[in-house]
Amino acid sequence: EAQVTQNPRYLITVTGKKLTVTCSQNMNHEYMSWYRQDPGLGLRQIYYSMNVEVTDKGDVPEGYKVSRKEKRNFPLILESPSPNQTSLYFCASSFYSLASGELFFGEGSRLTVL
Amino acid sequence: LAKTTQPISMDSYEGQEVNITCSHNNIATNDYITWYQQFPSQGPRFIIQGYKTKVTNEVASLFIPADRKSSTLSLPRVSLSDTAVYYCLVGLRNSGNTPLVFGKGTRLSVIA
């Protein structure tokens, strides 16, 4: 089954404790991206990647890091989480070179930073 | 980046046609218009995409006027299960060069 898988789905952590949210897709997509969703603010893009070893900042990259060492994986790293990073996070992927512009989203990771 | 403006919320009764309009005054020549649907605690799901005039699929229709400064998502005969947030997204098809801006979406509530 074609899917984007995020882990963990739910996480409660404390300020300053490094954490990684993993994202994996099995559709051989070149393009992957991370979004955060907060009440009243819609979806905001954090980082995106056009392909392996190619990443770029989205609208709200501060406090986050990403890496793209393999095509299928695009982890989101919070080196020193703070309470303002409490949010619902979504990973998405799509083909870059084909006609369809459809983004496939994961089920989301709800993060709480105390 | 082409920013979008949508109504914050809409209400409709079951069985009615719903039209959600998105304004994108600074849309670029190469930009496409894409709509997504999102249910609570789920990731957005692709509905439809278009460049100009009209596009129709099994779920919805998308109307884009000649100046492309707005677009209208049309949902025929909505049901309770269509209650969701709908996002209008404007950008290059398969753009890897610029961020994709979703905006705040339109919350559609379908009433029995």
B2 falls within a domain: no
Q: Please judge whether A45 and B101 are an interchain contact, meaning their C-beta atoms are less than 8 angstroms apart.
A: yes
Domain count, chain B: 1
Give the range of the structural domain holding residue B50, as residue numbers without chain letter. Answer: 9-111
Where residue B51 falls (left for φ over 0; alpha for ψ -120 to 50; beta otherwise) is alpha
For chain A, which residues lie within 8 Å of any Cβ of chain B, measuring from their own Cβ?
4, 30-31, 33, 35, 40-45, 48, 50-51, 54, 56-59, 88, 90, 92, 94-108, 110
Distance from CA of B45 to the nearest CA of A (A): 7
Domain CATH code at residue B14: 2.60.40.10
Average pLDDT on B87-104 reads: 69
pLDDT at res. A110: 97
pLDDT surpasses 50 at A97 = no
Q: Is B9 exposed, middle or buried (0-12, 13-18, 19+ CB in 10 A)?
A: exposed
Tens of pLDDT, residues B28-56: 888 888 899 999 889 999 999 999 999 99
B1 falls within a domain: no
B63 falls within a domain: yes
* Chain center to CA of A59: 13
Q: Please judge whether A103 and B100 are an interchain contact, meaning their C-beta atoms are less than 8 angstroms apart.
A: yes
More reliable by pLDDT, A91 or A101 = A91
B56 falls within a domain: yes
Q: Please judge whether A102 and B49 are an interchain contact, meaning their C-beta atoms are less than 8 angstroms apart.
A: yes
pLDDT surpasses 60 at B91 = yes
B-chain residue closest to A59, CA distance: B99
Average pLDDT on A76-91 reads: 97
B4 falls within a domain: no
Residue located via tokens 């596009």: B55
Q: How confident is the model at residue B89 (pLDDT cuts 50, 70, 90)?
A: confident
Where residue A107 falls (left for φ over 0; alpha for ψ -120 to 50; beta otherwise) is alpha
